[in-house]
Amino acid sequence: MKKFIIKLLYMLPIPLLIISINYKEDPANIFRKGPYEKGIVRYLNEGKNVTNVTNYDERLLQRYFITDNKNCPDVIVLGSSRVMQLGKRFFPNENLMNNGVSGATIEDLLAIYDLYENKGCNIKKVRIGLDPYFFNENNDQSRWKVLTKEYNEMLDKLGLTAYAEKPFEDQSVYVKYNQLWSLSYFKTSWRYFIRGVDVHYQPVNSTMNKEFTKVVDGSIVYGESSRNSSLEIVNGYATQSITETPLYSMGEFKQLSPKYQTIFIQFIEYLQKKNIEVEFFISPYHPIVYDFIKKSKDYQIAFEVEKYFNQFAAEHHIKLIGTYSPYVYQFKDSAFNDGFHCKELALKKVFEQQAKDSIK
């Protein structure tokens, strides 16, 4: 059947062939944006994990995930992909939802929390993953703008409307039309078609699957190839991370942004005034990345940021767990998936160590 379809495709005019394959395969889910995320959320809210999830808009998914869920959690996890593995597997006694998003910024923290507040949820605890680029106004992150409306709403509640952003203009319509006849997109689409690559997500009961999986509690589990990567591959990823200029979201980072410090302080104090417990988490870096940061004069500010987080936590009576240093926990290369992300066992060790230290 597939050979017959291929023969038919060869009979199509070239422009029509490109458009047809790009639309059918759509490896980046450009033409399924919105329905794709809603479909994932539908399964999650039905109590199913979802595997083979690829190229989705994480902020859009959070909007649907929070607003469409009939229930409210007691605990939410906010932060970047470095916290997205933190689910009920780590905290079995918590009614928890993980709302982490890749490349999270201060704007994301405010916007995602605002979604819960607008829903009327009585959140009891907010666990926040802290990255050094949070205070870098040149972090080159813009994905949060999908949630501009919610971010501006939260700024208004904090009395910081001076920092409000212009309404988000969705460029997806223009992107769709451009990609329909894009030759570069066609190369990938054609490869998916020939190889029979399945880009459709699937509901499952298991958490450990062959492909990347989104779990009912909002956390993620990496695919089999990532979980079982050799040290050579992991170290290759870490080395690649430090050869990229600038280091992820750390470009032109000369000082802690007064703007972001103000927003951060006001947000945390807002939560505390509502009697919401705040907990900070700092995930360690791979030794290769950490050593690079430590030796590079361009990124010493990362340690200034960590010092700031520790001082802020102490002054505001907030529990802070973790550090950017892998050596505190004697983590070796095998504790990581890549240069920035710990394996689950390593993350569990960080929290277990904190629990032991609290008992002493």
pLDDT digits (tens, 9 = 90+) for 188-244: 444 544 444 445 899 999 999 999 999 999 999 999 999 999 999 999 999 999 999
Question: Is 138 buried (19+), middle (13-18) or exposed (0-12) by CB count in 10 A?
Answer: middle
Which of 80-84, 128-132, 138-142, 325-329 shows the lowest per-residue confidence on average (mean pLDDT)?
A: 138-142
CATH code, domain carrying 19: 3.40.50.1110
Task: Give the model's pLDDT for residue 183.
Answer: 53
pLDDT reading at 182 higher than 60: no
pLDDT of residue 30: 53
**Cα separation of 346 and 349, whole Å?**
5
Query: What is the per-residue pLDDT for 334?
Result: 97
Identify the pLDDT of residue 8.
44
Q: What is the pLDDT of residue 36?
A: 86
Tell me the C-alpha distance between 147 and 143, whole Å.
8
Report the pLDDT value the prediction gives residue 346, as an integer from 0 to 100. Answer: 98
157 is in which domain, residue-wise?
A: 2-359
Residue 101's alpha-carbon distances to 86, 97, 107, 280, 332, in angstroms, are 12, 12, 12, 16, 26
**What pLDDT does 347 receive?**
98
Rounded CA gap, 218 and 208, in Å? 15
**3-state secondary structure labels for all residues of 251-274:** CCCCCCCHHHHHHHHHHHHHHHHC
Q: How confident is the model at residue 308 (pLDDT cuts 50, 70, 90)?
A: very high
Alpha helices in the chain (DSSP H): 2-10, 14-25, 35-45, 58-68, 106-119, 148-158, 172-180, 183-195, 224-227, 231-243, 258-273, 287-295, 301-315, 344-359
Question: What pLDDT was estimated at residue 34?
Answer: 76
Q: And the tokens for 281? A: 């988490």
**CA dihedral defined by 59, 64, 67, 68, rounded to 10 degrees?**
-160
Q: What is the pLDDT of residues 22-55, one digit of tens each?
A: 555 554 455 556 788 999 999 999 999 999 998 8
Q: Which amino acid is at 252?
A: E
Please report the pLDDT score of residue 197 as a whole number.
44
Under the banding of pLDDT at 50, 70 and 90, the label for residue 5 is very low
Average per-residue pLDDT for the chain: 88
Beta-bridge partner residues of 116: none
Backbone phi and psi for residue 293, each to the nearest 5 degrees, phi listed first: -60, -40
- Of residues 176 and 169, the one with the higher pLDDT is 169
Q: How far apart are CA 262 and CA 203, in angstroms?
A: 42
pLDDT of residue 4: 43
Which pLDDT belongs to residue 35? 83
> What confidence tens digit (pLDDT) does each residue in 119-168 have?
999 999 999 999 999 999 999 998 999 999 999 999 999 999 999 998 87
Q: How confident is the model at residue 116 (pLDDT cuts 50, 70, 90)?
A: very high
Tokens read off for 167: 């309404």
* Percentage with pLDDT > 70 across the chain: 81
Q: How many structural domains comprise the chain? A: 1
